[in-house]
Structure 1
Amino acid sequence: MTAPTFVFVHGAASNSFTWAPMQRELALRGHRSLAVDLPGHGFGATFPAAYQAPQDLAALATVPSAMAGIGHADNVAHVLDVVRQVREYGPVILVGHSRGGLTLTGVGNAAPDLVDRLVYISAWCCTADTPAGYQASAENASSALAGLGGLVAGNPMELGALRFNWRTADPELLATLREAVLADGTDDEFYAYLNSLEPDESLDVGEERADPETWGRIPRTYVRLTGDLSMPIALQDRFIADADALTPGNRFDVRSLDVSHAAVLVRPGEAAALLSELLPK
């Protein structure tokens, strides 16, 4: 049997580089993997000189973004192209973290025969409502991200993108952000993770929901991160319950890790072992 390839899709303001520790762990276990940079990310990202030190916050708020005009459909099309190429060499396990789950769903809707398993790691999986609807839901009300509006570095409508100043020195914002994404990490891990993030992210998350006739045919796993304060466990559990109600004959295989939102990227050993368990015996 041809060995499957894990294809990783990153979350918001992120890139393929954040999957490097996970890919290392999988390689040490003898597994193949590939991490995708979504359009406008990785070496295609916008890093204005005003974002460097010393920062020029006024200029940072106005520098045009390469992300302007890029949306959900572009992400799906890009990953579909990658998956088509990888699928020529064997099965594909498509893995998404956080906002990357939106792209997973779009790919599953469009081309279920190209994907052998979908894996959502504390990721958005919209079935009964749109992304905006889930974001406004009671299950998301406790998200620690709600207190991070001060990170926004410009008017999104003028920039055509969300721009965040991850290099802020504001102690209150940094404390809130650490609690939200890496409460179980060290100071060094937290700052290293922040330095892997990109300032700009697309405004367009789309309104796509899972299609039971296509996406609903693909075996799927949801990895709950029970220590995640940015994506509340109540919201993760609602994603699972809504998806199972949509396709009761093909329910989520549910796993749990007691870590924060970013710990699965920073210290991926446990998650890599879990992913290895999903491979055919």
Structure 2
Amino acid sequence: MTDPTFVFVHGAGSNSFTWAPMQRELALRGHRSLAVDLPGHGFGATFPAAYQAPQDLAALATAPSAIAGIGHADNVAHVLDVVKRVREHGPVILVGHSRGGATLTGVGNAAPDLVDRLVYITAWCCTADTPAGYHASAENASSALHRLAGLLAANPMELGALRFNWRTADPELLATLREAVLADGTDDEFYGYLNTLEPDESLDGGEERANAETWGRIPRTYIRLTADRSLPIALQDRFIADADALTPDNRFDIRSLDVSHASVLVRPGETAALLASLVRS
């Protein structure tokens, strides 16, 4: 039987480039992989001149965004096209990080026969409630992201997109951001990670919930990150519990790593070994 190809879907403000260390680790273990740039990301992303140094915050607030009008359905359609092409060469393991989990769910709902396994890495997996409902839940109350509204560089309703200033010099915002995404990293790793992020993200994260008849047929793994302060472990566990209640005959295969939200991208060795074990199993 042909070995599977890992297809990676990034989270908010990110791109395919952040998966390069993971892909290197998997290649060294003999595994094929492909990382997707969702529409409006990667070399299709908007990087206004006002975002550079020195920054012009007034101009940054009004510079048009290429991602305005792009939403969840566009992400799902794009990844579906990629998965269809990859599936011609063998099995597919579709992996999503953070907000990328919403796209995984959409693909699983639409085309369960094209995906051999879904892997959510500290990722959104909505089944019993909407994304907004989970966001407002008690399980998400401790997220450090609630204290990062100051990163917004524009009015989302006026811009038609979320725009974040990852290059802020505000020490309090930077300290909170580090707590949220990479508390277990070095200074260089943290700032290096920030420089992979893109200012703009789609306003439309979708309202899609997993469908038991389609998505629910696909084998799935959830990689819990117990030191995640961005997507709290309580919320990760609720995603798992709600999904297992939806399809009790096809429950999550649960794995756990004691690392932060972005550590799996910056230091991918342990995660790559875990993903490789899914091929062997």
Query: TM-score, structure 2 length as denominator?
Result: 1.00
Using the alignment, how far apart are the partners of 2:207 and 2:156 within structure 1? Answer: 19
Number of the residue aligned with 2:97 = 97
Alignment of 1:109-188 (within 5 A): 109-188=109-188
Using the alignment, how far apart are the partners of 1:209 and 1:39 within structure 2? Answer: 21
Query: CA deviation digits over 1:188-233, x for unaligned, max 9?
Result: 0000000000000000011100000000000000000000001000
Is 1:48 aligned to 2:48, yes or no?
yes
**Alignment length, in residue pairs?**
281
Is 1:225 aligned to 2:225, yes or no?
yes
Shift of 1:280: 3.8
Alignment of 1:1-281 (within 5 A): 1-280=1-280
**Which letter maps to 2:108?**
G
**Which letter maps to 2:259?**
V
Give SS of 1:278's match.
helix
Give SS of 1:227's match.
coil
Quote the sequence identity (%).
88
**Which letter maps to 1:229?**
R
Runs (5+) with no aligned partner, structure 2? none
Using the alignment, how far apart are the partners of 1:71 and 1:254 within structure 2? Answer: 29
Give SS of 1:142's match.
coil
Using the alignment, how far apart are the partners of 2:207 and 2:151 within structure 1? Answer: 25
Give SS of 2:279's match.
coil
How well do the aligned residues superpose, as a CA RMSD in angstroms?
Answer: 0.5
Using the alignment, how far apart are the partners of 1:79 and 1:211 within structure 2? Answer: 18
Using the alignment, how far apart are the partners of 2:44 and 2:30 within structure 1? Answer: 30
**Which letter maps to 1:215?**
W
Shift of 1:101: 0.1
Using the alignment, how far apart are the partners of 1:280 and 1:175 within structure 2? Answer: 40
Shift of 1:3: 1.1
Name segments (4+ residues, structure 1) moved above 6 Å: none
Using the alignment, how far apart are the partners of 2:203 and 2:84 within structure 1? Answer: 27
Using the alignment, how far apart are the partners of 2:219 and 2:43 within structure 1? Answer: 33
**Which letter maps to 1:127?**
T
